[in-house]
Amino acid sequence: MRASLLKIALTSAALSMAAVPALADDISFATSNTVAGEHVVLYLGEDLNLPLQMNGEIADDIERAIEGSGFTGAFGTSQNFFGLGDKKSVTVIGTGSDTLTRRHLHDLGGHTVKAPGDGKLSVIVEDLETDSETPSAELALGYRLGSYRFDTYKTGELPEDRDVIFISGDTGAADDLTDTDYAGLADAVDMVRDLGNAPGLEIYPETFVERIRKEARGIANLKLTVMGVREMERAGMGAILGVGKGSVHDPRLLVLKYSGAGANDAPLALVGKGITFDTGGISLKPNSGQWLMKSDLSGAAAVAGTLISTAKRGADINLIGVMPLAENMPDGKAIRPGDVLTTYNGKTIEVMSTDAEGRLLLVDAVPYTIEAYKPELIVNIATLTGSAARAMGDEYGAVITRDFELAQTMMEIGERSGEDVWPLPLHPNHYDQIKSDIADIKSTAGAPGASIGAAVIGTFVEEDQPWVHLDIAGVDWRDSATPTAPKGHAGWGVRFMDQLVRDYEAK
């Protein structure tokens, strides 16, 4: 039995603890006859047939308990029974009646987190109707994603972690897949959640870079470079520099380059908005809810997470991650509404609101990425607009692109990944709306806000360059949990972009 996933205790004070992953249950795999636990989880379909392993006296007890409970086996429902036979608890979780996809398995794994029992939890994986060859690895990934906690700033007694053992016939394969691949993916999601949950006091451009530097160290074929103010000035990135001017923390441009394929293979490029705190700047945001803007780095964090997990598993692809980082603060040195900034490719932009700062990062970073790396596809990901959040709610990230087929591909990738996207429009009129009286374009123009934001970025992308804009303002943060994402920062985008990378890798 191999302990596949890290278990680390937190001991010291807040600032130094921040880079330490949160406590996590210790997940492992075992074959049927090696473990018998006091706390057991069973997955049952709507036929309510028990796994063969449960045969014997206790099977009758369980069947009788289920009968009286109203449990139907409907997907995602569960019921806890206490004191049956020699078991302290038996939890049954419904798998419904459809063939289980990977995504279903992740959700079931997430539901398993709620099962009672400390010390040791035995999860019996038998007779699942699924198209996955390693259902226990998928369940374990879901469990791991669902069990995240951010307790960096909690003092006093923390809830105990427990040993979770998935008992199945696919032990060896599940253990391999977890060790070589899924543990890295789950670690990346945890890292992104840690970054999004962390206060702005702690995460600013410099500390964001240092945290990623630490995570990326020693990973084969992954190179990290950073542009500081001097380098960005030389490159002409007046928009990123403009956004950073009001902060005591200088902006940065962080680049992660993973070379997993031939040198002539055009890379896939991911560009993420990294505003480490968004006050709105001189166009100050109202104070209600402003604390949430500590997570305005969600795009950049998800890009970093995707690069690190892709490199860790040694994927056969060239992948570029570009993360413009700045803190948007009001100050005597801050940019003002009405200011004009000169961007990387020489186009000028009139700043209508300093609170529309995300697009300013991207109008430098996106054309820079295209010119420097000539990607076959560029995807930018950003908590760009409240407008997208209002339109999409918690369920979908917004995808905006000129090419509807690409939007459909993204929707299909999203569905498989467990992180859904749905298209919003980009119309030629949206480009007309951002014409400026005094500069080449202006940064905002009213409604429809998410599309206008995309048009600003799109102005800096040639028509023939495959380009996808993801506005994740609605999905990066959750007010309520899902099976695989607790309340708080969701780490949204790692699973989506991971699936995108896997699809491009296979091409």
Under the rule (CB under 6 A), what is the footprint of ligand BES?
278, 296, 353, 355-358, 383, 385-387, 389, 444, 449, 473
Interacting residues with Mn ion between 356 and 415 (CB under 5 A): 357
* CA-wise closest residue to 101 among 504, 416, 374, 423: 416
Nearer to Zn ion, 5 or 445 (CB): 445
Binding mask 164-203 for Mn ion (x = CB under 5 A): ----------------------------------------
Interacting residues with Zn ion between 310 and 369 (CB under 5 A): 358
How far apart (Å, rounded) are the C-alpha atoms in residues 388 and 449? 7
141 SS3 class: helix
Q: Please, are residues 372 and 253 in contact by the beta-carbon 8 Å criterion?
A: no
Interacting residues with Zn ion between 261 and 280 (CB under 5 A): 275, 278
Residue 28 binding partner per list Mn ion, Zn ion, ligand BES, none, with a CB distance cut-off of 5 to 8 Å that depends on partner kind: none
Nearer to Mn ion, 250 or 357 (CB): 357
Residue 100 binding partner per list ligand BES, Zn ion, Mn ion, none, with a CB distance cut-off of 5 to 8 Å that depends on partner kind: none
Answer yes or no: 336 catalytic: no
Kindly state whether residue 420 participates in binding Mn ion, applying the rule CB under 5 A. Answer: no
Residue 419 binding partner per list Zn ion, Mn ion, ligand BES, none, with a CB distance cut-off of 5 to 8 Å that depends on partner kind: none
Answer yes or no: 285 catalytic: yes
Q: CA torsion, points 434, 458, 383, 283, in degrees to nearest 10?
A: -30
Kindly state whether residue 471 participates in binding Mn ion, applying the rule CB under 5 A. Answer: no
* CA-wise closest residue to 412 among 325, 499, 506: 499
Q: Please, are residues 409 and 385 in contact by the beta-carbon 8 Å criterion?
A: no
**CA of residue 322 relative to chain centroid, distance:** 16
Kindly state whether residue 476 participates in binding Zn ion, applying the rule CB under 5 A. Answer: no
114, 285, 347, 478: the active-site residue: 285
Structure tokens at 364: 């430098």
Nearer to ligand BES, 267 or 280 (CB): 280
Q: Which of 163, 355, 420, 471 binds Mn ion (CB under 5 A)?
A: 355
Cα dist. 185→2, 33, 218, 302, 491 in Å?
A: 18, 30, 17, 11, 11
How far apart (Å, rounded) are the C-alpha atoms in residues 315 and 268? 12
Residue 170 binding partner per list Mn ion, Zn ion, ligand BES, none, with a CB distance cut-off of 5 to 8 Å that depends on partner kind: none
Q: Please, are residues 371 and 465 in contact by the beta-carbon 8 Å criterion?
A: no
| Alpha helices per DSSP H over 393-443 | 404-417, 428-433
Q: Which residue is nearest to Zn ion (CB)?
A: 278
87, 245, 273, 359: the active-site residue: 359
Residue 473 binding partner per list ligand BES, Mn ion, Zn ion, none, with a CB distance cut-off of 5 to 8 Å that depends on partner kind: ligand BES
**β-pairing verdict for 421-423 and 318-328:** unpaired
What length does the chain have? Answer: 507
As annotated, the active-site residues are 285, 359
Applying CB under 5 A, which residues contact Mn ion?
Answer: 278, 355, 357
